[in-house]
Amino acid sequence: MAAEPTAPRGGRIERARQIESRKLARRSFLRVSAFAGLSLFVGSMTAGFLGFFNRLKPVGFGGVVTVAASRVPAPGAEPVRISEAKAWVVNLSGPEGDVLGVGGTGGIMALYWKCPHLGCSVPWNPGFNGAAVNFPGVVGWFRCPCHGSTYSRAGIRVFGPAPRPMDTMAITVNGDGSISVNTGAITSGGTDNPLRAVSYNG
């Protein structure tokens, strides 16, 4: 009585066991995939976060930005806006922009466009001559849209609440006439800004 129905019952038990093991397989599949998804999510977040600390080879702003020779302004021409470097490239002709007379002799310089006051991006205003009394004949100034700090072509602060002249970026002139602006090497602006200009014959 106990032996005869073993085979069919064993088949049912076996089937049930298989069904049961399939259920278990589904549950562990869900568990594994849930943890895999979670670790993928956390891992990608971590990788993205660690990416912020990559200061070895930054690209774009923070790294070295090359400005082609065709975009470099001629001496005395209007400053050129280099968006990818967040900078104005200025080509001073002679003592231009050296409004406080520290002995600038011209050359090319890159001015970080962030206002040293509260950080607005400073536009070039080619027609502005509002400093006519103190600096007669000088037309064209950088003038901050937020609080009116006014800077000469060489970034010298002459007016407004900014605590110092515009910050400068290190630049090197390449053989083909292009320039490399190192947007990671920003020096606080000072009255010696015009002396930081690099001579350029491109």
Q: How far is the CB of 154 from other proteins (least distance, A)?
A: 14
**Contact pattern from residue 5 through residue 44 relative to other proteins, giving x for each residue in contact according to CB under 8 A and a dash for the rest:** ----------------------------------------
Distance CA 35, CA 57 (A): 33
Closest CB 134 distance from other proteins, rounded Å:
5
180 binds other proteins (CB under 8 A): no
H-type alpha helices, the chain: 6-51
Nearest to 124, CA basis, from 136, 107, 111, 105:
111
CA-CA-CA-CA dihedral for 171, 173, 178, 183, to nearest 10 = -10
Q: Which of 6, 18, 33, 188 forms a contact with other proteins (CB under 8 A)?
A: 188
Contact residue for other proteins among 15, 161, 185, 198 (CB under 8 A):
161
71 binds other proteins (CB under 8 A): no
Distance, C-alpha 185 to centroid of its chain: 12
Burial label for 43, CB within 10 Å (0-12, 13-18, 19+), is exposed
Residue 118 binds to other proteins (criterion: CB under 8 A) = yes
Among residues 135, 144, 149, 133, which one has the least CA distance to residue 96? 135
**Binding of residue 63 to other proteins (CB under 8 A):** no
Question: DSSP 3-state helix, strand, coil percentages of the chain (rounded to 5)?
Answer: 30, 25, 50
Note whether 59 binds other proteins by CB under 8 A.
Answer: no
Answer yes or no whether residue 117 interacts with other proteins by CB under 8 A. yes
Which residues lie near other proteins (CB under 8 A)?
81, 83, 86, 100, 117-118, 120-121, 123-128, 130-134, 143-148, 150, 157-161, 163-164, 188
